[in-house]
Amino acid sequence: MRVLVVDPDSARAALVTEGLAGVEPLDVRHCLFFDEAEAADFAPDVVVVAAESPDRDTLDSLKSSNAGALRPVVMFVDRSEPGLAEEAVHAGVAAYVVDGLATGRVRAVLEVAMTRFNLMRQLRTDLDKAKADLASRKTVERAKALIMKERGLDEEAAYRVLRKLSMDSGRPLATVASDFLAFAAVMKGGS
């Protein structure tokens, strides 16, 4: 497991190393401040950052700007702020926030964070795909309806027209349907 600990205080890195004793192979790197180039070079499985670290904004911005560099981030809250961990994770507002840091909990916490991160990433990918599928199905339906109306065909025949266009041009059905609708809109606009 490769762990990057971003913390002005070196005590936390020592705690993390101690808590992960027995994990093989293990590479815990401690840096006082987050350095994007260094992080990319190290390629950690998980990043541990103090919630009070000013570098949180840098890490947070990677979420939107650089999907390739995305890593699960575990944030440890030092000050006693009951509720932040649960509330934030529940609301999905923070990557992962955990109250306190005890040697005995380190391993479980990091493993849960990584599992959850991968799960969330999978869910997001699935959701994006589902959305895209739904959108293309709608486009095909609309194109089909238009062909039925314009040419007086039944549903199956209209579908065959689209499928033939798709096969002849070697392009996906949804793309052909989308072009067809755009073309129809232009013709309509011109009349």
CB of 81 to another protein, least distance (A): 6
When asked if residue 4 is in the footprint of another protein (CB under 8 A), the reply is: no
Which DSSP category does 8 fall into?
S
Among 141, 160, 149, 132, smallest CA distance to 168 is for 160
CB of 87 to another protein, least distance (A): 4
Question: 152-191: which residues touch another protein (CB under 8 A)?
Answer: none
CB of 61 to another protein, least distance (A): 4
Among 15, 17, 14, 12, smallest CA distance to 1 is for 17
What x/- string results for residues 129 through 158 when contact with another protein is judged by CB under 8 A?
Answer: ------------------------------
CB of 121 to another protein, least distance (A): 16
When asked if residue 58 is in the footprint of another protein (CB under 8 A), the reply is: yes
* Helix (H/G/I), strand (E/B), else coil: 34: coil
128: exposed, middle or buried (Cβ count in 10 Å: 0-12, 13-18, 19+): exposed
Q: How many helices (H) and strands (E) does the chain have?
A: 7, 5
When asked if residue 80 is in the footprint of another protein (CB under 8 A), the reply is: no
Taking CB under 8 A as the binding criterion, the range among 76-84, 117-125, 145-153, 165-173 that sits at the site for another protein is 76-84
Looking at the Cβ atoms of 56 and 144, the one nearer to another protein is 56
Question: What is the C-alpha separation between 60 and 94, in angstroms, rounded?
Answer: 9
106: exposed, middle or buried (Cβ count in 10 Å: 0-12, 13-18, 19+): buried
Contacting another protein (CB under 8 A), which of 22, 68, 83, 170?
83
Residues that bind another protein (CB under 8 A): 33, 35-36, 51-61, 63-65, 81, 83-84, 87-88, 91-94, 97
